[in-house]
Amino acid sequence: ENFFGLLKQEIYYGKIYSNYHELKQTIKNYIHYYNQYRMKEKLHWQSPIEFRKNQLLIAQK
């Protein structure tokens, strides 16, 4: 629920898309950004991908 709330707040509300494909590409880009680059405090200021990689490295030790 939190993800979809952020998605709507950051890319949907107050914006007008000229067609479905533009909206779809914007959503794809946002998901990529959210997983690859968006740092979160509860993940110790890492992106979700960085956090998972680090957790795997810790588990392998």
pLDDT tens for each residue of 13-54: 999 999 999 999 999 999 999 989 999 899 999 999 999 999
pLDDT value for 3: 87
Instruction: Kindly give the residue spans of alpha helices, DSSP state H, lying in the chain.
Output: 2-7, 20-36, 48-60
- Amino acid symbol at 33: Y
**pTM for the model:** 0.72
pLDDT value for 61: 78
Would you tell me how many other CB atoms lie within 10 Å of the CB of residue 45?
A: 10
